Amino acid sequence: MDIFEELAMWHLTRNGGVNVFVCPQFSIANGHSCPDFVALDFTNRIVRVVEVSAASEPNGLLKKVLDRDKQWLSELKGQLLKEKIIDDSWERFKVVLYIRERACEKFRKKLGETGDVILYSLEGIGSPWSWDWPSEKAQKEVEESGRQD
């Protein structure tokens, strides 16, 4: 698990993980899909397929999301029902993506308005790519004073 996946996992369980079960690398029975996480929200009865990508152009992921029913959702629902992990009252299945802000913009344009795909930018939840680096002079002042404001 890389640092971005860990960040996503912390975000998914940010309320202390109460009633949220997260399984990394859950193998979907279709034999060709293993999302980064499957998260079960027992309070709200929501199944979330979670993918994390720090790639600047995650085109392969976009293709999977556009074909999300075949890629993940239909097979996953059947598998979870068959294994009695969930029951028929679990009607909401969502895809949650943790991707770079620039990729979020592209995904929003391609996906349009959809209620079953949620986008989070890695920068927005804790991993900024373009920090406001202090100037060399400011950095020297920090090092000399021993404190940063």
- More confidently predicted of 32 and 7: 7
- What are the tens digits of pLDDT across the range 104-114? 999 999 998 88
Question: What residue segments make up the domains of the chain, in order of their start?
Answer: 3-145
Q: For domain 3-145, say whether CATH 3.40.1350 is its number.
A: yes
Half-sphere exposure (Cβ direction) of 72: Cα atoms closer than 13 Å: 25
**What's the pLDDT tens digit per position in 68-85?**
999 999 999 999 999 999
pLDDT at site 131: 59
Contact between residue 31 and residue 24 where contact means Cβ atoms under 8 Å apart: no
Q: What is the pLDDT of residues 8-57, one digit of tens each?
A: 999 988 876 678 999 999 999 877 789 999 999 998 999 999 999 999 99
* CA nearest to 90, candidates 61, 48, 30, 126: 48
C-beta of residue 89 within 8 angstroms of C-beta of residue 77: no
pTM of the model: 0.83
Q: How many CA atoms lie within 13 A of 75 on its CB side?
A: 17
Number of Cβ within a 10 Å radius of residue 96: 22
DSSP type of residue 47: E
